[in-house]
Amino acid sequence: MSVRFRVEDFIKEEKLRNIFNQVFDYFTIEAIHELANKGYIDYLEHIVSTGKEAHVYKARDKSGNVRAVKIYKIETSSFKNMRAYIEGDVRFKHVGPDRRDVIYVWTRKEYKNLEKFVEADVRVPMPYAFNQNVLVMEFIGDEEAAPILKEKPIEDVEELYKRIVEELAKMIYRAELVHADLSEYNILNYNEEPVIIDCGQAVLLSHPMAKEFFERDVRNMCNYFRKRGLEKTPEEMKADIKELKDSV
């Protein structure tokens, strides 16, 4: 007789178990079970973020490597918005009618986007595996997760501008993806190096809204740099990105 896989099997601490149990059901436990069987997850160690859409945990795989595990909530409030980022993307045409399907496609989309970014040498977390609403990726940080740029600015703002322009050029010209939610909230400061996260909504350049999303990303970053005392207009930033077209 097979023994039911339980939350106790991958979360040792009671407090953390309670947090998990408040949000996730047996389907998520099953999804983790399959990832555990393949060695991608051994246990969840602590919680990094309890957001509106997802929980992010610091975890260990079977060999003891540190991992980040992002688990999307099924009852997320913005799942209607998610459709707009899925349906215009030729990679994910077929998405079922219910909430669960949308979230599963979204998780797969984030995994695929991370893969494409890694291939294009954009600095994002390396994706390792996904199953249903669970994504396993590189943990950015040491003991603690690296802070977001909003909380801990990278000091050399000129250098940061150069790095972001480079990353945007690699995204557009090599990965052929628009991040579509780029801001100081989705960039981590890992020892003064920017790491771009939260890539579920990124879309192919052929998406009907790609241009608008790109313009918004550029505007967000210009607003951030202005607050940091570096004045760049979106036109200037776009020109700087374009200049790298043949060299990234």
Ligand X SMILES: Nc1ncnc2c1ncn2[C@@H]1O[C@H](COP(=O)(O)OP(=O)(O)OP(=O)(O)O)[C@@H](O)[C@H]1O
Q: Kindly state the smallest distance separating residue 186's Cβ from ligand X, in Å.
A: 5
Q: Which of 67, 3, 66 lies closest to 33, judged by CA?
A: 3
Interface with ligand X in residues 148-187 (CB under 6 A): 148, 186
Q: Tokens representing 44?
A: 């969840």
Is residue 103 within the footprint of ligand X (CB under 6 A)? Answer: no
Partner whose footprint covers residue 125, from ligand X, Mg ion, none (CB < 5 to 8 Å by kind): ligand X
Give, in degrees to the nearest 5, the angle at Cα 121 between 132 and 152. Answer: 80
Of the candidates 25, 198, 217, 246, the residue annotated as catalytic is 198
Helix (H, G, I), strand (E, B) or coil at 59: strand
Is residue 37 within the footprint of ligand X (CB under 6 A)? Answer: no
Q: Which one of the spans 16-24, 46-54, 101-109, 213-221 is the region binding ligand X (CB under 6 A)?
A: 46-54
70 within 8 A of 56, measured Cβ to Cβ: yes
Interface with ligand X in residues 190-219 (CB under 6 A): 197-198
Partner whose footprint covers residue 49, from Mg ion, ligand X, none (CB < 5 to 8 Å by kind): ligand X
Q: Measured over all CA atoms, what is the biggest interatomic distance in the chain, rounded to whole angstroms?
A: 66
Q: Which one of the spans 136-144, 154-162, 228-236, 239-247 is the region binding ligand X (CB under 6 A)?
A: 136-144
Active-site residue, 181 included: yes
Binding mask 137-176 for Mg ion (x = CB under 5 A): ----------------------------------------
Kindly tell me which residue out of 198, 210, 216, 217 binds Mg ion, with binding defined by CB under 5 A. Answer: 198
Active-site residue, 156 included: no
- Which secondary-structure segment (H or E) carries 233? none
Q: Tokens representing 120?
A: 């294009």
Establish how many alpha carbons lie within 13 A of residue 24's alpha carbon, considering only the half-sphere containing its beta carbon. Answer: 26
Residue closer to ligand X (CB basis): 202 or 248: 202
As to burial, measured by CB atoms within 10 angstroms (0-12 exposed, 13-18 middle, 19+ buried), residue 190 is middle
The radius of gyration computed from the CA coordinates of the chain, to the nearest angstrom, equals 19
Catalytic residues: 181, 198
